[in-house]
Amino acid sequence: MASAVELYLPGSGGRPAPLQPGFVREVERHAGRLVSRCYQCKKCTSGCPVGPRLDYQCHEVIRLVQLGAKEAVLGSRAIWLCASCKTCRERCPNDVDPAQVMDTLKILAVAAGAPLGRKRVKAFQKAFLSTVAAMGRSHEFGSIALYLAANPSAGIENLGLGLKMLARGKLKLLPDGIRGKRDVKAIFRRAAQRAARLAAEVKAGSGADAKAAPKMDLRTGDGTRAEGKGESGR
């Protein structure tokens, strides 16, 4: 679909960014939030603690979603450097919840199989969750070991701290296991099935469902509605 807007992003070599107008609906459906309500007041960006390190500021990410700059957003560093402090959510006058949108964009970026803007953040999250999936509880020592196996260069900068923590008994060498591992494994299995379905859907061309109305309650103001979203990715 041709777009009336032409968007030139930094580093694009003077070519307009590809735009996918249905993208905002796709994000809204998965996030359970009305991203299109954003009117760029920038309260999110003003309060964002990681702003100086982002390639796109918080309000810019939201605007790029509205414009359909899917590629730029899913490949951005910003979505991975968001620390989920939720200051933006707290102050947003439109209940957009940028922190939730950032999570949704991370999930969509992984589903799309696009190159990630900050691989090591994802790598640590994966390492952490793999210990939970295996034992039912997270295991810091195990997650750090798994993370370092995938990112050996991070070992040197964290070695000193690791040794200090071991010396103070802050890192348990052996993980805690629980009896209900089967429950936890079943939870992870269902999460993986959902992720696979989402990846298939995203790869099949998200344009297909772009016209679908967002499956959410459009009431405004009470702010509690979207809390009720379960797995919104289906």
Q: How many angstroms separate the CA atoms of 67 and 161, rounded?
A: 44
Is 232 a binding residue for another protein by CB under 8 A? The answer is yes
| Contact between 61 and 14 (Cβ < 8 Å) | no
Q: How many angstroms separate the CA atoms of 76 and 172, rounded?
A: 35
Is 231 a binding residue for another protein by CB under 8 A? The answer is yes
Is 85 a binding residue for another protein by CB under 8 A? The answer is yes
Is 195 a binding residue for another protein by CB under 8 A? The answer is yes
Q: How many angstroms separate the CA atoms of 225 and 101, rounded?
A: 15
Is 113 a binding residue for another protein by CB under 8 A? The answer is no
Q: Interface with another protein by CB under 8 A: which range of 7-15, 56-64, 106-114, 201-209?
A: 106-114
Is 191 a binding residue for another protein by CB under 8 A? The answer is yes
Is 93 a binding residue for another protein by CB under 8 A? The answer is no
Is 128 a binding residue for another protein by CB under 8 A? The answer is yes
Q: How far is CA 229 from CA 102, 114, 120, 180, 215, in A?
A: 16, 26, 29, 26, 10
Give least dist CB 218 to another protein, A: 14
Is 103 a binding residue for another protein by CB under 8 A? The answer is yes
Is 125 a binding residue for another protein by CB under 8 A? The answer is yes
Q: How many angstroms separate the CA atoms of 233 and 194, rounded?
A: 8
Residues 157-176 that bind another protein (CB under 8 A): 157-158, 161, 164-165, 168-172, 176
Which of 82, 129, 128, 123 is CA-nearest to residue 105?
82
Size of the site for another protein (CB under 8 A): 70
Q: How many angstroms separate the CA atoms of 90 and 177, rounded?
A: 37
Choose which of 9, 112, 121, 199 interacts with another protein (CB under 8 A). 121
Sign of CA dihedral 226, 45, 3, 104: negative
The DSSP result for 182-228, as a single string, is HHHHHHHHHHHHHHHHHHHHHHTTGGGGTTSPP-S----SS--GGGG
Residues at the site binding another protein, with contacts judged by CB under 8 A: 49-50, 53, 81, 83-87, 89-90, 97, 103, 106-107, 110, 118, 120-121, 123-126, 128-129, 132, 136-141, 144, 147, 151, 154, 157-158, 161, 164-165, 168-172, 176, 178-180, 183-184, 186-188, 190-191, 194-195, 217, 223-225, 227-233
